[in-house]
Chain A
Amino acid sequence: MATEVAGAHGHDEPDHLAPYLSPEAGRGIKGWLLTLDHKRIGLMYLVSTLLAFFMGGVFALLVRLELFAPGRTIMSAEYYNRAFTLHGAIMVFLFIIPAVPGALGNFVLPIMLGTKDVAFPRLNLLSFYVYLFGATFALYSIISGSVDTGWTFYTPYSTTSNTSVVSMVLGAFILGFSSILTGLNFIVTIHKLRAPGLHWKRLPLFVWGTYATSIIQVLATPVLAITLLLLAAERTFGLGIFDPALGGDPILFQHFFWFYSHPAVYIMIVPGMAVASELFATFSRRAIFGYFAIAMSSLGLALVGFLVWGHHMYTSGQSEFATTLFAALTMLVAIPSGVKVFNWTATLYKGSIVLTTPMLYALSFLILFTIGGLTGLFVGALSVDIHLHDTYFVVAHFHYVMMGGTVMAFVGGILYWWPKMTGKLYDESLAKKGWFFVFVGFNTTFLIQFIMGSKGMPRRYYDYLPQFETYHKISTVGSWLLLVGFLLTAWALIKSIRSGEKSPPNPWGSAGFEWQGTESPPVMQNFRVTPTITRGPYDYHLCSDEELFDGFPEDAEK
Chain B
Amino acid sequence: MASAHADSEHAEHAGHGDHPPYLAHHFDTPEQQFDSAKLGMWVFIVTEILMFGGLFVAYLIYKGQEPAIFIEAHNRLDWKMGSVNTIVLLFSSLTAALAVRSSQLGKKNETTMWLTITILCALAFLGIKYVEYSHKFHDGLLPGRFFTAHLPEHAHNGHVLPQRASMFFALYFMMTGLHGLHVVIGMSILGWVLVRNHRGQFSPEYFTPVEIGALYWHLVDLVWIYLFPLVYLVG
Contact = CB atoms under 8 A, between A and B. Distances in A.
Interface of A: 1-3, 5-9, 13, 16-17, 114-121, 123, 180, 184-185, 187-188, 191-193, 195-197, 218-223, 225-227, 229-230, 233-234, 237-241, 246-249, 252, 256, 513, 516-518, 525, 527-535, 551-552, 554-555, 558
B62 interface: yes
Contacts of A218: 43, 46-47
Contacts of A239: 143-144, 166, 170, 174
A121 B51 CA distance: 25
Given A6-B24, A531-B2, A237 B54 contact: no
B1 A533 contact: yes
Nearest to A202: B1
A120 B40 contact: yes
A239 B5 CA distance: 61
Contacts of B40: 119-120, 123, 184-185, 188
A187 to B, nearest CB: 6
A34 to B, nearest CB: 15
B58 to A, nearest CB: 7
B165 to A, nearest CB: 9
B157 interface: no
A206 B183 CA distance: 38
Contacts, number: 192
A179 to B, nearest CB: 11
B12 A240 contact: no
A240 B209 contact: no
Contact of A529 (B12, B50, B146): B12
Contacts of B22: 3, 6
Interface stretch (B13-21, B77-85, B96-104): B13-21
A534 B1 contact: yes
B144 A531 contact: no
Contact of B167 (A17, A197, A246, A554): A246
A537 to B, nearest CB: 9
Contact of A6 (B14, B46, B62, B145): B14
B48 to A, nearest CB: 7
A110 to B, nearest CB: 8
Contacts of A531: 1-3, 5
B207 to A, nearest CB: 12
Please indicate which of the listed interface residues A7, A197, A246 has the most CB atoms of chain B within 10 Å of its own CB.
A246
Contacts of A225: 51
B8 A530 contact: yes
Contacts of B44: 184
Given A517-B1, A530-B12, A247 B32 contact: no
A505 to B, nearest CB: 10
Closest 9 CB pairs of A and B: A517-B2, A222-B51, A226-B54, A238-B145, A238-B144, A558-B3, A116-B26, A117-B26, A239-B170
The residue among A3, A9, A528 with the most chain B CB atoms within 10 A of its own CB is: A3
A534 B21 CA distance: 32
Given A16-B25, A180-B47, A237-B144, A9 B15 contact: yes
A238 B15 CA distance: 55
Contacts of B55: 226
B167 A528 contact: no
Contact of B209 (A1, A233, A528, A534): A1
A192 B33 CA distance: 8
A195 B36 CA distance: 14
A554 B1 CA distance: 9
B166 A246 contact: yes
6 contacts: A222-B47, A252-B61, A256-B58, A552-B1, A554-B3, A558-B4
Contacts of A237: 142-146
A534 B3 contact: yes
Given A3-B201, A237-B143, 14 more contacts: A119-B26, A123-B40, A187-B39, A219-B47, A227-B54, A239-B144, A239-B170, A241-B167, A247-B166, A256-B54, A525-B14, A530-B28, A532-B3, A555-B2
A94 to B, nearest CB: 21
Contacts of A195: 5
Contacts of A528: 12
Contacts of B170: 239-241
A2 B33 CA distance: 10
Interface string B47-69: 11011111100100110011001
Contacts of B36: 119-120, 188, 191-193
Contacts of A221: 47
Interface in B147-203: 163-164, 166-167, 170-171, 174, 178, 201
A555 B62 contact: no
Contact of B1 (A223, A241, A513): A513
B227 interface: no
A552 B14 CA distance: 28
A100 to B, nearest CB: 20
A252 B26 contact: no
B95 interface: no
Pick from A121, A193, A222 the residue with the most CB of B within 10 Å.
Answer: A222
Contacts of A533: 1
A247 B65 contact: yes
A247 B25 contact: no
A240 B172 CA distance: 13
Contact of B14 (A1, A16, A119, A191): A16
Contacts of A240: 143-144, 166-167, 170
Given A240-B144, A530-B8, A192 B167 contact: no
B2 A187 contact: no
Contacts of B24: 1-3, 5-6, 121
A191 B39 contact: yes
